[in-house]
Amino acid sequence: MREPALWHDAGVSITAQQFQQLQERVSRRVPKPAVEHVVSARSDHSVILGIDPSLRGTGYGVIRNVGRTPELLTQGTVKCASSLTRVQCLARIAESLRDIIRSCKPTVCIVEGLFYAQNLQTALIMGEARGASLVAAAEAGLEVYEIAPRKVKQAVVGYGAAQKFAVAKMVQRMLRLSEPPAPDAADALALALTYAQESRSPVARVSRKL
């Protein structure tokens, strides 16, 4: 008994058995990958570096984001005396951050986003300090994100126009420190904490990858 045609068009027909054989040939020509690659929306980072750039006092803070309570690894301020030139300050900022990265081994860096400055000269100097910080992070191969200052205050304090003291007190509470960090270091830690919160709740995304 002749097998009925499964498909017929313009005088060309194919049976069910022939169709199955054709599928088997195609599957043999296109092998399946040995390992399926799943692309995630965001890489998991357990060690986070926050940087609050400034020419004379760049704040930094590194936390380990494991469990519900982040752990402080290091924090401080890269201070540059007024006797140093701008170029010398930028070199010190970059070299200090390189040392911190080598010591703590973060995999992601969060910097304060650009903000509006009425004084053009101040904006340029801040931009230079930010650039020196970004170079140190980029050299080490870190992923780099920025978060607007108002977003950081909103995430940490719950009020976008919060004062520095309020930010420092909340950072102290969140990291269970014996005393509040210095203002610049507190701002850097607040950046890292905001990113840590965001990584646990991707719905409330406030960072932007650079």
Catalytic (active-site) positions: 52, 112, 184
Calculate Rg over the CA atoms of the chain: 27
Cα within 13 Å of Cα(105), Cβ side: 1
User: Does an H or E element contain 111, and which?
Assistant: strand 108-112
Residues ≥6 apart with Cβ < 8 Å to 109: 48, 49, 50, 51, 137, 142, 143, 144, 145
Provide the 10 A C-beta neighbour count for residue 125: 19
